[in-house]
Structure 1
């Protein structure tokens, strides 16, 4: 169960949407299931015609707007920008320098509805008094009754403190799997009108939702781990559809930056990869001249005014900020160069060696997770680099099955509370080195002997992902485990070709065997296997 709190300024507009057919005519049988006074039936709008959505909304709008109107708040949306309002130039400057001061008595009425946003470097509209929270079930949850939804709505409104404050609120149901909570945050409790500001409502909603999931036997949602990548906004998704893009620019850009980071050994390699991907980067510098951050732009992603749309590394992924990238590159020694022909391409034998070496490293990493010889967190994070580099070599910017596996593994690699592992570990560093060598090998054709070596590597990756899934499940992280399962499901495993590769791997050259021994060597110590009742390796 997921709830997301929003805010606005127009009670009538929100009520009309909730009781209407919806943006895509997806609403069915809209009705009120809960209210602030415990009598939702009294607030159900009467029918005004034969249609499913022909309601007389005047009484409901009047009840929800009564206190805000008495308090002097606008019942319609204020202008998004005050540029055309009286005294805009003078009072915009005042908002910029006043901090959190209250406007003086002689200030225009509109001033109290705006604030200065230092990030946007502009005057923006404050959050409105119309509080709105959709609450949605997981697709695998059963259909709940109106009485159950009433109980859920009451608990959530009490958790936020809105119910106790005396604010008016209702819960509207117009689908089987979700309701909408709506409140106007003005109260007359205590004998005088005042605004009410919920504190930490997002956190309190999340906590109450998890409690209700346990009580009602619903599918549990994961705890907030502060490592998730930001999803594309509704506007970004709509823009991609209008321009015929296969996916939003944010999603494509995150993948390209992550793949460039996995393939690079430092800033110079990283920027060279971005240039190859036609990604524009904009570094920012500290006082000492060192890079302190970087934003990225797809060359063909522009606004309606023709301006480029930049995304900082942190907005693409928590592990893609500049300090995290530098930390990642510093944790792994430089990879050995790949043998090349006179025209600069990698040789066929070199590509075979790289693929076979990577398969051995991946198999070794899976064994170290099974035996408990190494913290799986470092291996898990480095596995994403191998998937990203392999997708780059086999599919480049086409969205094939390995690219799909790379995208799905993002969730599986998350460790709550940690963006990067505390210790990358021996196998983790070996996996990162392997990812750089795969990227250095260039395009992998998947023909001839390469087909068999590639199949062996994909099979090894499927085995490693299975071990990661078991570890995440045992550590009490079912959602990461489910993401690992989805990753393994899309990997193009060819067991016949992988078996054919085993014979060649057994007779590989002494040079390759020596490099593998140095890459994956581990200290001699007895294996520490853990059983289902034991604490997972840390």
Structure 2
């Protein structure tokens, strides 16, 4: 169960919205499921209208008005409690139990007679636009006697209360402190803001081109909303950017190469420097190259994902003075829009012999994981990050739009995100999946062809299967189910377009079983109409520039920060 806490001052406006049609007419049959006794006696479970909403708001607001109390930041405490779409729907009675328990755990009740209670209600108005069953709790933070309810650490307390309610009521559990994992979610407001930026950017571009004479605010509300809705994307831009950054980080041998690879992938990058220094980098931000008329939207590494902060990425690279100087030079070149200072292996086609070496490394890693306990979350997070990065690198090379390889990368990436900064274990597996990421993001022909790719797929699928087994053993059913769907669904789409991984008796037969199982889940090799994955998972040759660029003949276009 996911809580989302916000605060404000307009009780009437909030209640009118909750009982209205919603932003996209998604609200149906708004009614109360819980609240103080007076509210439930008056309205029970009757469908609410605007007049009812305003009457409820006046009732809730009465203690604040009577005692003339002001609450810094707003006295209206609003929290939605939401289930995942796959969890189905609860009854009104169950939501009443959950709401009453949640209010008590947050300390908004009378604390068994030791405090004056607050006035609150819980509103239910159908499923969200994404199919999530949910309720909205609205609380007046001014108690009946004029004192203020405590909201200290209310976001943390709300998360803790939800984890307790999940255990008490048998709901599907989110990541908890006991597993130390937590992935970055996507707030509906962030989706709305992304769509609004893109819509307005395109509109302003049309104005500059002379094809549109009106101003953005000169459009009527319905027309503006239509333009915004047209820009909503199924693939959230922040997650797509995180995939690219993770692919580049996994494929890189040091920080300088990481910067060059991001620029090579068309990502805008900028460093955050230590105060008063130009040679000490403490963090970074990235942005996707915007469409004409739009502005870039910058995200810090930690906002993309917990495992993509610069300190966590640096833990995988050599820590040397020379490396720090090289990285600072590349960050500075990106800042000034100049070409890379010291182009490296990212500019060269990998030696085909590396495919065999990387394959052997992946096999060793799979064997070493058999002796890693499930409690060693740092090691499992490291392996998940590398495997996710390898699939992300493959996706970046061959999928024009995010497809099954990207989906598999996303499923594995969630295991890589730990709440705390991981400590590299002393007995961590020496083998690594980073070599696979380097090959997959760099190879112009897919190495030695489709057979080599099939071998690589089964080895990476084996690592995904190992992570799946770890989650099963850890009784983390949700994570295990996500990875299982990736193996049986997304990877089956890819494996159906590649040669058979090998006959019975082949040294890699055990790894091949993962891919065969994925194929069987789809009833054999099938071709999905419209799939972005080509019949042969082989990227095209990179285009060769025919005109002299900004830096002279043969120079690549710089994808660094726009000046």
TM-score if structure 2 supplies the norm length?
A: 0.67
Find 2:386's aligned residue among 382, 386, 394.
382
Q: Secondary structure at the match of 2:171?
A: coil
CA contact (8 A) 1:296 1:312 kept: yes
Deviations 1:366-406 (A, max 9, x none): 222224499544433322232233333433x5423212211
Q: Deviations over 1:229-256 (max 9, x none)?
A: 3536233443455547663432232222
**Residue in structure 1 matched with residue 77 of structure 2 by the alignment:** 131
After TM superposition, give the deviation of residue 450 of structure 1 in Å. Answer: 0.9
Partner of 1:444: 445
Query: Hey, what does 2:235 align to over in structure 1?
Result: 247
1:433 paired residue number: 435
CA separation of 1:15/1:498 partners in 2, compared to 1, >3 Å: closer, same or farther? same
Consecutive unaligned residues of structure 1, counting only runs of 5 or more, are: 75-112, 114-125, 335-343, 507-538
Matched, 1:157 2:89: no
TM-score after normalising by structure 1: 0.70
- For residues 222 and 9 of structure 1, the distance between their equivalents in structure 2, rounded to whole angstroms, comes to 32
Give the direction of change, closer, same or farther, for the CA distance of 1:161–1:372 in structure 2 (3 Å limit): closer
Residue 122 (structure 2) aligned to one of 171, 193, 196: 171
Label 1:198 to 1:371 Cα distance change in 2 as closer, same or farther (>3 A).
closer
1:48-59 to 2 correspondences below 5 Å: 53=49, 55-59=51-55
Equivalent pair of 2:369/2:429 in contact (CA under 8 Å): no
Deviation at 1:365, TM superposition (A): 1.8
Match of 2:162 among 181, 194, 209: 209
- Give yes or no for the alignment of 1:487 onto 2:486: yes
1:10 is the counterpart of 2:6? no
Q: Structure 1 369/5 Cα, relative in aligned 2: closer, same or farther at 3 Å?
A: same
Q: CA deviation at 1:24?
A: 2.1
TM-aligned CA deviation for residue 13 of structure 1: 1.0
What are structure 2's unaligned runs of at least 5 residues?
111-115, 128-132, 199-228, 324-346, 510-563
Shift of 1:172: 1.4
TM superposition shift of 1:500:
6.9
Distance 1:327 1:249, change over 3 A: same
Instruction: Check the 8 A contact 1:171/1:182 in 2, yes or no.
Output: yes
Partner of 1:228: 183
CA–CA separation in structure 2 for the residues paired with 1:143 and 1:275: 45
Partners of 1:129 and 1:185 within 8 A in 2: yes
Partner of 2:309: 321
Please report how far the alpha carbon of residue 323 of structure 1 lies from its aligned counterpart in structure 2 after TM superposition: 1.8
Contact 2:191–2:232 at 8 Å: present in 1 too?
Answer: no
The DSSP-based 3-state class of the residue aligned with 1:380 is helix
Question: Contact conserved, 2:121 with 2:138, CA < 8 A, in 1?
Answer: yes
Confirm whether residue 145 of structure 1 aligns to residue 91 of structure 2. Answer: yes
1:98 counterpart residue number: none
Match of 1:401 in 2: 404
Cα distance in 1 for residues equivalent to 2:253 and 2:439: 10
* Structure 1 Cα separation of the partners of residues 168 and 233 of structure 2: 43
- Tell me the alpha carbon deviations over residues 316-366 of structure 1, each in whole angstroms, 9 at most, x when there is no partner: 12222222222222289x9xxxxxxxxx7637xx33x33333333222222
Taking a change above 3 Å as real, the CA distance of residues 45 and 249 of structure 1, as seen in their structure-2 partners, is same
Post-superposition shift, 1:135? 1.4
Q: How many residues are matched?
A: 429
* Counterparts of 1:46 and 1:390, CA distance in 2: 54
Q: 1:183 aligned to 127, 139, 144, which one? A: 139
Structure 1 residues 418 and 386, CA gap change in structure 2 (3 angstroms): farther
Shift of 1:53: 4.1
In structure 2, how many angstroms separate the alpha carbons of the residues matched to 1:486 and 1:421?
Answer: 30
Q: Deviations over 1:188-231 (max 9, x none)?
A: 32xxx243332333333333333333333322222154642353
Give 1:23's aligned residue.
23
User: Hey, what's the Cα distance between the residues in 2 that align with 1:438 and 1:148?
Assistant: 49
The equivalent residue for 1:536 is none
